[in-house]
Amino acid sequence: MEMKRISFVLFALFMLNMSCATSFDKRGRHHTVGRGETIWIIARAYRIDAQTLAEYNNITDVTDFQVGMKLYIPGRPEKPGYKRVVLDDDNPPRATRDRRTERKTREKKKGDGPIEVYHGRFIWPVGGTVTSGFGMRNGRKHEGIDIAASSGTPIKAADAGRVAFAGKMRGYGNLVLIRHDDAFITAYAHNTKNSVKKGELVKTGEIIATVGRTGRATAPNLHFEVRQGQQARNPLFFLPKKKR
């Protein structure tokens, strides 16, 4: 009984310390890393997946994890605005119960495992500088990356697949969605012009559109997203590393 009481007190003190390390700024809720904390400890404290926490904060190498750094804490996952245009005719959805079981199993499996990085799973759709990363931006989730490029620059398919959508959508402007293996979908937005049509098969590196500033864009750029199912993934975890 005494050991249980001590364990409870230690746990309460630990959670109090976590609570004190939680703050808010214009980008959102964040945790200040304390001495002895790891990304897995913090993820468990906030009841989120360590992989998600790493991707949300662009941490591809946990050896860069340092005391005092800010880790932004993701809220509930948001559904993409283009969900309604993605057809599931050849990939029928599983029952809700099956999806929940699969998600819990995946989270349990990845919770304490290594942070997984898949550099080279996709190719860069355009060359250029990443001007806005994945994660929090102006207090809202930014579920892709923005790559600056001149208007008219060709946009290439990041991987082979089938075009699930090619048209205009509010906020995205001219948008192309490509469905790939392993339930991946890539999105290419703000295009001046789309060069492919729904249903077309495209090869890796094939030109599918040109860079523009349609939709909510203040300058020519490509807004690029990677999703696995409905989950937004950090594209920088899947694209080849750029040389500094």
Residue 82: pLDDT over 80: no
Q: Please give the residue that has the higher pLDDT: either 210 or 35.
A: 210
Residue 242: pLDDT over 90: no
* The pLDDT value given to residue 60: 87
Taking only the tens place, the pLDDT of each residue in 27-38 is 778 899 998 899
User: How high does pLDDT run on average in the chain?
Assistant: 81
* E-strand stretches of 139-183: 140-142, 145-148, 154-156, 161-169, 173-179
Q: Region 96-112: what's the mean pLDDT?
A: 48
Length of the chain: 244
* The pLDDT value given to residue 9: 43
Residue type, 150: S
Q: What's the Cα-to-Cα distance from 175 to each of 12, 115, 155, rounded to whole Å?
A: 49, 31, 11
Residue 94: pLDDT over 80: no
Residue 12 three-state SS: helix
Q: What's the Cα-to-Cα distance from 179 to each of 58, 134, 226, rounded to whole Å?
A: 24, 20, 10
Whether 181 and 226 have beta carbons less than 8 Å apart is answered as no
* The pLDDT value given to residue 16: 46
Q: Region 65-69: what's the mean pLDDT?
A: 87
The Cα diameter of the chain in Å comes to: 71
Taking only the tens place, the pLDDT of each residue in 50-65 is 999 999 998 988 888 8
Domains of the chain (ranges, CATH numbers) = 2-72 (3.10.350.10), 81-244 (2.70.70.10)
Residue 219: pLDDT over 90: yes
pLDDT band at 85 (very low <50, low <70, confident <90, very high): low
